[in-house]
């Protein structure tokens, strides 16, 4: 269990910590419980639990949780930047059937829309 292990680290340090945790989880089959406010870290999880004031608001896969943008915003919580962008574009009429979690997914989605 780690509580904000990447806080106060530079991007390289954050990447090294997350890479090590993913390796422990996937290669050594260790369960990792990570408490974070960095949504780009949360999207890498198998399961996300969102809490506010000690109460569970929602839980599920990152795709399930971060598709609930309005619920999260209602509780003053962030979403990944790619999810935020597509959420705002939807408000302007952009058609998207899902919310991307990574920059790569977002770029692919926007590229497909340009065709």
> Mean pLDDT throughout 82-106?
92
* CB atoms near residue 44 (< 10 Å): 17
C-alpha distances out from residue 52 to 34, 69, 74, 75, Å: 16, 15, 11, 7
**Which tens digits make up the pLDDT trace of 24-81?**
999 999 999 999 988 989 999 999 999 988 999 999 999 999 999 999 999 998 899 9
C-alpha distances out from residue 24 to 20, 33, 35, 115, Å: 6, 12, 16, 40
The token pair that represents 115 in the structure block: 């065709």
What is the value of pTM for the model shown?
Answer: 0.83
Grade residue 19 by pLDDT with cuts at 50, 70 and 90: very high
Question: How many angstroms separate the CA atoms of 60 and 27, rounded?
Answer: 23
Q: Are 68 and 57 in contact (CB under 8 A)?
A: no
- Judge whether residue 115 has pLDDT over 90: no
Q: Are 64 and 46 in contact (CB under 8 A)?
A: no
> Mean pLDDT throughout 12-17?
96
- pLDDT given at position 114: 85
Give the DSSP letter of residue 102.
S
Question: How many angstroms separate the CA atoms of 66 and 78, rounded?
Answer: 9
Give the DSSP letter of residue 29.
-
């Amino acid at each position: 269990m780690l509580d904000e292990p990447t806080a106060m680290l530079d991007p390289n340090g954050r990447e090294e910590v997350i890479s090590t945790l993913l390796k422990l989880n996937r290669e050594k089959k260790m369960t990792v419980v990570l408490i974070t406010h960095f949504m780009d870290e949360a999207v890498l999880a198998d399961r996300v639990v969102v809490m506010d004031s000690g109460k569970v608001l929602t839980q599920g896969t990152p795709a399930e949780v971060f598709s609930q943008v309005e619920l999260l915003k209602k509780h003053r919580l962030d979403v990944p930047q790619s999810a935020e962008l597509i959420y705002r574009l939807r408000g302007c009429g952009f058609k998207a059937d899902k919310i991307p979690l990574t920059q790569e997914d977002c770029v692919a989605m926007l590229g497909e829309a340009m065709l």
